[in-house]
Every structure is written in C-alpha cells, then in structure tokens.
Amino acid sequence: MSANGNHTQGGNNGSNATGGTGGAIAVGIEDLSFATTEYVLPHTELAAYNGTEIGKYHLGIGQQSMSVPAADEDIVTMAAAAAAPIVARHGAGRIRTVILATESSIDQAKAAGVYAHSLLGLPAATRVVELKQACYGATAALQFAMGLVYRNPSEQVLVIASDVSKYDLDSPGEATQGAAAAAILVGANPSLLRIEPASGLFTADVMDFWRPNYRDTALVDGQESISAYLQAVEGSWKDYSEQGGRSLEDFAAFCYHQPFTKMAYKAHRHLLHYCGHPVENDEVARVLEPTTTYNSVVGNSYTASLYLGLAALLDSDADLTDRAIGLLSYGSGSVAEFFAATVVPGYRAHLRTKAHREAIDRRKPIDHATYRELHQRSFPTDGGDYPVPAQTSGPYRFSALSGHKRIYEPR
C-alpha cells in the first residue's frame, strides 16, 4: 500500500483524522519498550519431541520459537522490565495513571500493575488498574489513556500489556505459546505515533477462546477462532469507514494482532478481499513481513502481541515518516478495534531497536524436558512459605509465595 495523503474527515466529535480534537492537540505514543523471558524453546525441539514436520511450524503457522518464563518470571516481572527503560528516560513525575492489560492475571482482586508500580518506584499519587478482554485489552487501555491525556495534556499514562500464553501440553495450541510485555507511554505531542480519532469497533459473543477461573491453561476452538477473527476484521473495518476513517489506499503499513504470525496474513488478505482489492501474495508479504519479526520468535504474547508487531515495524529499515499505519486489535470472545496512527518525523531517534533485539537474543535456549518442567510448575495452595528458584537474569524477580502473598524484588 502507498500513502497518498488524501483521507476523509474523522467522524467523532468533529475531529479530523490526523490529529487531536479540532486539530488543537495531538495525542499518541511517546515511547514503546518491550521485554520477554529468560528462556526460549526452539520449535525444532517441539517438532523433534512430537514427531511433527518442522514446516508445519515454520511455514504453516509462521513460528520459529517461543519465549518461556523462568520459575521466577511472570506478568509482573515482565511488565516492570518493559516499563523501567521508559521511566528511566522520561521520569515518573508526569505519570499519574498506570493501566496494565492482561489475560493471564495472577490475582482476582489486586491489580498486577500495583506490584509493577512498586517495583518501578512510581509516586503514590498514581491511579493503577488492571484491564481485561482477552488479547484486545491493551488497545482499550491505549484508548482510555488518550482520553485522560486529552483531559489534561500535562499528564502521561503508562500502558503495560503483559501476558504468558499457556495451553495444555501436547494440545494443538501448544506451538503458539509465548510470553512478553510491552510498555507504552501515552502523551501529548508524541515522539513516535499520533493516534487518530476515528476508530472502528466490533463485538460478538463467541466461544472461540476462553479460560475459566478454575483453569491455568486456556481453551481454544481453532477453526472458530480464525472465523471469529476474520468476522471481526470485517466488522471493525466497516465501522471504521462509517466513522470517517481513512481509505485503504492511504495506509503505508498494517499491524495485526498475531496469535501466530500467519494469522496476520490471513487477516490482511481477508480485508483486501472485503474491500474489493486484488490479493497479491508478494505485496501482502511485503507489507506484513516487517511486523512479524519479533512475534515469530517470541510466540503469542496475547495483549502485547499487536504492540510487538508495531515495535518490529518501527524498528525495521523502512522510513515511515509521516506515513499512516493501520492497526487491528482482536481479543477472543470477541472484541476488535481498527484504528490508525501517523508516524511522527524524527521518530527513529526515540526507538529502542538495539534493546529490543538484545531482549530477544539474550534468551537461553532450553530443551523440551526443561520446558515441560517449567510448564508444569505450580505452587501449593495452603498459604505456606515457598521460595522461588533464582533463574532470571532480568532486573526483577518473583522471589517467594508466603501466606498466599506474592513477593517481588529487584534482582
């Protein structure tokens, strides 16, 4: 796709499609950082164990490896690790809200973001909440954050998406597992992306993927999930168009939620077909491949997945200055949103490309037996004292469970 600079006016409250309300203020992403785990399981290990042809993973679903948390890593340690560089760069003085989006929550009452708030040393005068709607939650958090910044442009909002994707051993979904956290600083006059007001929404009550409270691993109906995702692509794009969004030709790039990277290709082909555009596989690959480089080796990180795709796109060689990016966020169950962003001139000076690649390269490969041991690890529920083995080399660790309380500490 090429950006031709022409677009229709945004349909929300008289806003235009390229900036803030009435053009007075631009709000969007000031900074973006991600973190992942200590360990990685190559898909060659999984294929050797279960006798699967490796092409099913490398080509069929587009996955090379999956991030695996150490015993002392979870959504809190990853969240804090992802956000720490942002706090170090920008300070904490203007951050008055932290929204942590996850679907692998560690507590039914206390927000995981409160633990991260403590580890990061953020001020007491901060609101902290946890948000849930499958893989869509971080996009809801981003939109809510923008509203807070519009209300008070001097404030910044820290949005964190953090998840451990976990399915039953030897199940069809096992090969799509992964873990990561993405931290997004939302503010006025941003350095990376201006988020445009027009937004397309879609919700349908489907049972394509879910995790009841009594289960540690998710349940998924694979075919239903693909169908529901594609239905959501249509529905959110239709609403986006009705809200006065850009035309398809305006976009220089597209980012999709990636439960596995080949799903992004399915989704984009479906959108092109729905809009009456020719589906040329080489062009689809050119547009999408830069967004898949991180997710293909990290695996599904649920709420963080779309934003790892965005990070990969921004970290790529393409110059996206003043170009429009279309983003499709999908969360099973299901809720979806299509929205747009414009890349800010000078964005490259604010990227964390080296740190992102180091986060992936530093992971230690493990064999299948070690992976299974980590996957099956669990705590007794009697409220006793249980120290956690020190394994991570990351900045924060989950050190113990004592009296039903989780204890975290800097490493």
**Best CA proximity match to 86, nearest among 321, 331, 311:** 311
User: Is there a contact between 120 and 162 (Cβ–Cβ < 8 Å)?
Assistant: no
Residues in the chain: 411
Radius of gyration of the chain, Cα coordinates, nearest whole angstrom: 20
Q: Tell me how far apart the alpha carbons of residues 52 and 382 are, in angstroms, rounded to a whole number.
A: 40
Q: Tell me how far apart the alpha carbons of residues 185 and 95 are, in angstroms, rounded to a whole number.
A: 9
Between 261-274 and 222-242, two packed helices, what is the crossing angle to 10 degrees?
A: 50
In the sheet with 396-402, reading across from the earlier edge strand, the strands are: 385-387, 396-402, 405-410
Q: How many CA atoms lie within 13 A of 216 on its CB side?
A: 7
Between 112-120 and 75-90, two packed helices, what is the crossing angle to 10 degrees?
A: 40
Q: How many CA atoms lie within 13 A of 251 on its CB side?
A: 22
Q: Which residue has the tokens 């092109």?
A: 272
Active-site residues, by number, are 103, 135, 257
